[in-house]
Every structure is written in structure tokens, then in C-alpha cells.
A and B are shown apart, each in its own frame.
Chain A
Amino acid sequence: DVAEQWTPVLLDGPTEESLQLVSKLKDSSNSCAVDVSTMWWEAGGCREFCVVTACESSVSLWKPLASDRWHKVYTWQVGEIPVIQIIPLPDTGNLVCIALGDLEIAEIRLLFCSSENDSFKQSLVKTGTIKAVLGLKGRRLVSSSRTGQEQQVEIVWLSETGRSKDGQTLMPPEETVLAFAEVEGMRDALVGTTTVNDVVVWNLRTGQLLKKMHVGYSYPASICHRAYSDSGLLFVVLSHPHAKESESCGNPVFRVIAFNPRTARSAAVVFSSLPAGHSGRQVLGKIHGYLEGDVQDASAAAVLTSGAVVVWDLLLGRCTALLPPGPTGHWALARWATGSACLLAGQRDGTICLYRY
């Protein structure tokens, strides 16, 4: 019955773009869920898709069983500082990072599980006043942190026992970096967004700051999610956490902006707005803002303040599916599984639903 009630509502999307409930897991600890992510479990040349859930005081690893059931394999206890974010490491098995802190990230830790002897460990990667962090391909982690007026943008290489000795510093912009995104199709490039709505580009190999490109103040506090290099242009997916539905045009939650890095000029390519108009209101019942989101390839998912999850096709600029608030509560988390067309939607009570997209 519960599964039926959580059947997603389609917003004029083709059938193949729908969300299908695949399985559900629930932490029985009754702790408030703060994040969910996925990880590859690698053993004996095989890869297994696992789910990682976090509450304030612990992080749990879940492995799939037969019949779409999930088994909690291990729980890392993390101590005094609350967990606020899981930081997945793309293309890396048996490792995941977590951010701990209160309002800001104060500490990053590496959680490690050995496939050989089923041992589970955790180690400290970094401490400080950390403003942004992203797991990169190739077992790397990039972060921006502040010490007084000084900003440090640093890449650390991760070993199975924590951070490696070697690291690299990237040239920081004057303004604080709030988010990072790897550039698909360009291995040595990294982009970030700053507090003054600049998109910055780095050369990861040399650490050079190559360009600062202004986005404009119409949509403050833009956050970069993904970037793609194609035909001499840099396409950046930005989200706007303060988007609100508007009668006239509908403020976009996500925008794809094309930048010419040579001239720093930009042009908006596609807007993806909050569900608006009659059908949106019928489904959601009230005007809603955007809380948080996640982007993978051309698909974006976001949790709205109404407690619904909305999925967009960023190339079409259109909502393709909507999960209304569940019978047991509002959605609080929406994440794409690494490397698969699977959406994880979570509620604060620890219920995580996996949908095939």
C-alpha cells in the first residue's frame, strides 16, 4: 500500500522518463537522516552497488540482498561533531568521505571498508573552516577553506588509510568558493562558483586559476553542479536555492549557461523552473521553494519546501516526474546514485526509497 501511495506523478513526461519504485530501506535507529549516497563495494573483481546513509552521529553501509531487500552491513560511529554531508568519491570503490560540523564544515573524514577482511575504519582527512568540498575522480578531494582573510583551495589524494602526503594547492580567487564541479570531457579542468556569483575555472594539473566569469546578480548565490566542455564552450549547470515560483516567468531552479572561456561572455541555454501553473498547484497544493538538489548527466532532482521531489530533464528544461510528499512525511533528500539511472529519495525518519529513472 505504501509503495502505491508513493507512485510518482508524471508531468507530461514520456513513459520512459518515469520513476519506478525499486526498493526501500529504513534505518531502525529512529535517528534523523541527514544525507544519503551510494558507493561501489569492490571485492574479487566484482562491483556491488551499496547505499550509504548518514544521521548526525553515525554513517551506515547497506548492501543489497535478494528480492530488493537491503542489509545494514556496518555502522561507523563518528562521535561529538555532527555529520552534515556525505561526500561520494566517483569511480572509487570501498571509500566514502563525510563532512562534520554545525553550520559549516569543520572536519572531513574518510570512511573505508576492506573487502578482504571486512574491516571498517575511519580517518581524518582535513580540519578547518571548510566552505565547499567535492569528491573528484581518481581518489581526490577538493575543498575550499578560510583562515582569517586567507582562502585555501586544496586537492588531497586519498589512500585507504586517509589523506596521502602529497597534495596540491589551487590558486584561490579573492572571493570565497561555495561549490565545485568537475568538467566532463576535460580531465584537467575544474570549475567553482563564488559568493559574488563568479564561475571560476582552474587547471587541476598546474593549479592555475584560468578565468573568472561573472554570472550576474539576477540569481544570487548560484551553485555549480556539473560542467561540460563542448565545441569550445563551457556549459555549466547552476542551481539557485532561493528560487520561488512566480506568476510571470517562474524562477528557474536550474539553469544551463554556456560560457566562452576566452571572452568570459555567457548565454543562458535552458531554464528549468519550479512546477508552475494549474497542474503544479493541483499536485502540490501550495507555492513552494527549492531546498536542495542533485544533478547527474542531464537529469536534475530537487527537494522542494512543500516536501515533494521534482525531476527535470535539463536539456529540455522540463519537469519529467514528481514525487509528492509520502504518507509518512515529506521528502528531505534527493540524490542520484553514482553511475546509474537511480534516484534515492529520503525522509527525515530514515526511510530511503530507490527509484529507477
Chain B
Amino acid sequence: CSESDLGPISLNWFEELSAEAPP
């Protein structure tokens, strides 16, 4: 899997999505 297939990868995706998602 590469970023060209999957888009930019973030090691902190869980924290980032938690900060963005509705409470």
C-alpha cells in the first residue's frame, strides 16, 4: 500500500478524527 493508492497517511488518525467528529 502506498500513499498514491490511499492518500496522505497520518499516524495520529484516531486523535485527529476524534477532534473533527461531532461529539
> Measuring CB to CB, which residues of chain A are less than 8 angstroms from any residue of chain B?
171, 186, 188-189, 201, 203, 206, 208-211, 229, 231-234, 258-263, 265-267, 269
Contact = CB atoms under 8 A, between A and B. Distances in A.
B13 to A, nearest CB: 5
5 contacts: A186-B14, A206-B23, A232-B10, A232-B11, A269-B1
Contact of A267 (B1, B8, B11): B1
Contacts of B21: 203, 208-211
A146 B13 CA distance: 30
Chain A interface, >50% SS class: strand
Contacts of A229: 14
Given A210-B17, A211-B17, A233-B1, A262 B9 contact: yes
B17 to A, nearest CB: 4
B23 A232 contact: no
A211 to B, nearest CB: 6
A178 B22 CA distance: 23
Contacts of B5: 265, 267
Contact of A208 (B1, B10, B16, B23): B23
B18 A208 contact: yes
Q: Which of A186, A189, A208, A231 has the most chain B CB atoms closer than 10 A to its own CB?
A: A208
Q: Which of B1, B11, B18, B22 has the most chain A CB atoms closer than 10 A to its own CB?
A: B1
Nearest to A201: B17
Given A203-B21, A206-B23, A262 B14 contact: no
Contacts of B11: 231-232
The 3 closest A-B pairs by CB, nearest first: A263-B7, A260-B6, A232-B9
B16 to A, nearest CB: 7
A206 to B, nearest CB: 6
A258 to B, nearest CB: 5
A334 B8 CA distance: 39
Given A201-B17, A203-B18, A263 B23 contact: no
Nearest to B8: A262
A188 B14 contact: yes
B1 to A, nearest CB: 5
A262 B1 contact: no
Nearest to B9: A232
A258 B1 contact: yes
Given A211-B21, A258-B6, 12 more contacts: A189-B14, A203-B21, A206-B18, A208-B23, A232-B10, A233-B6, A234-B13, A260-B9, A261-B17, A262-B10, A263-B6, A267-B6
Given A209-B21, A233-B1, A267-B1, A260 B14 contact: no
